[in-house]
């Protein structure tokens, strides 16, 4: 009886084991059997392909070449959340496009250059102020007007530098002061009472009838005296440099703030008395002393 019961027990246990094996076969990849608890688990999320790591910074810039001539820069932030009550601005969200093509550079003209539709003469150009014409423009104007036959005790470049430097020191427009010297000396060719070796570029003291006027030791001194004389007419401010203008104290300070105000003052009468009844008519026609100086200036601006 005991033997029978033992055989029966072996058969029952063996059959249960076989059933378990039949229901849960061995995984051929892992060579281990999955338990019922494993079968009930949620399947694992499949592995995704590796993504490139970005530098751990708050803000980075990724530059992508969109065309051969345009480069687009897009800021990338690690904290780019947008709240429901916060709408980003257009400039904050749009990528910034930066062109790599340089625009065609155009020469910058001075603000005082008149448009083609306006009269040549503008009587409201002040004597005091900063230069607008470049040194290169002034040099071309002198070389063109003189035909290269100018006479100086220094080089042309040095003379131009003196006008710009002395003008800047006293707050006088050195470019137009140089245009005044061009008119007074006939593009530095001289030929009247004043000679080139006097370094007198504006006819200081030259009253006509053979009176030669003032002479100065150097070209810079002559320029300085001219600039100081202009400041005497245009301003009541004190001089920056020691006064070397021998006629400075003859001027009523500040009586002529504009270039056309010099007509009848610096140059007397300053217009053609046979053509015009008074200086205002000459100014209106652009044929007075000051307007003629300004016309030289405007020609230089076109160089």
**Inter-axis angle of helices 174-185 and 156-170, nearest 10:** 130
Report residue 2 as tokens. 């005991």
Task: Share the mean pLDDT of the chain.
Answer: 74
Q: Is the pLDDT of residue 144 over 80?
A: yes
Indicate yes or no: pTM above 0.75: no
Q: What is the pLDDT of residues 278-301, one digit of tens each?
A: 999 999 999 999 999 999 999 999
Q: Which CATH architecture has domain 135-301?
A: Orthogonal Bundle (1.10)
| Owner of token pair 């059933």 | 19
Q: Is the pLDDT of residue 196 over 70?
A: yes
Mean pLDDT of 11-21: 44
Mean pLDDT of 135-140: 98
Of these ranges, 20-29, 41-50, 81-90, 141-150, the one predicted with the greatest mean pLDDT is: 141-150
Q: Is the pLDDT of residue 55 over 50?
A: no
3-state secondary structure 108-173: CCCCCCCCCCCCCCCCCCECECCCCCCHHHHHHHHHHHHCCCCCCCCCHHHHHHHHHHHHHHHCEC
Q: Is the pLDDT of residue 1 over 90?
A: no
Mean pLDDT of 245-269: 96
Q: What is the pLDDT of residues 85-117, one digit of tens each?
A: 333 333 333 333 343 444 444 433 333 444 443
**How much is the pLDDT for 42?**
42
- Percent of the chain clearing pLDDT 70 (strictly above): 60
**How much is the pLDDT for 96?**
38
What are the boundaries of each domain within the chain? 59-99, 135-301
């Amino acid at each position: 009886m005991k033997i029978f019961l033992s055989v029966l027990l072996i058969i029952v246990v063996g059959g249960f084991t076989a059933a378990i094996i039949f229901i849960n076969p061995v995984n051929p990849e892992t060579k281990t059997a999955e338990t019922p608890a494993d079968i009930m688990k949620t399947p694992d999320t499949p592995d995704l392909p590796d993504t490139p790591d970005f530098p751990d910074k708050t803000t980075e810039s990724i530059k992508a070449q969109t065309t051969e001539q345009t480069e687009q820069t897009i800021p990338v932030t690690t904290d780019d959340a947008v709240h429901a009550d916060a709408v980003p601005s257009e400039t904050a969200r749009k990528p910034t496009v930066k062109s790599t093509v340089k625009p065609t550079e155009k020469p910058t003209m001075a603000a005082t250059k008149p448009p083609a539709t306006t009269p040549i003469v503008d009587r409201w150009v002040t004597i005091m102020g900063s230069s607008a014409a470049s040194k290169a423009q002034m040099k071309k104007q002198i070389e063109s007007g003189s035909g290269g036959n100018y006479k100086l005790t220094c080089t042309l470049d040095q003379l131009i530098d003196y006008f710009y430097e002395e003008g800047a020191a006293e707050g006088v427009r050195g470019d137009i002061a140089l245009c005044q010297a061009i008119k007074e000396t006939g593009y530095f060719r001289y030929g009247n009472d004043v000679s080139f070796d006097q370094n007198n570029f504006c006819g200081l003291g030259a009253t006509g009838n053979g009176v030669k006027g003032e002479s100065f030791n150097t070209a810079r001194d002559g320029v300085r005296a001219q600039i100081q004389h202009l400041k005497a007419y245009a301003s009541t401010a004190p001089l920056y440099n020691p006064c070397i203008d021998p006629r400075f104290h003859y001027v009523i300070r500040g009586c002529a703030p504009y270039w056309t105000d010099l007509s009848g003052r610096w140059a007397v009468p300053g217009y053609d008395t046979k053509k015009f009844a008074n200086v205002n008519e000459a100014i209106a026609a652009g044929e007075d002393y000051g307007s003629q100086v300004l016309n030289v200036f405007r020609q230089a601006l076109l160089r």
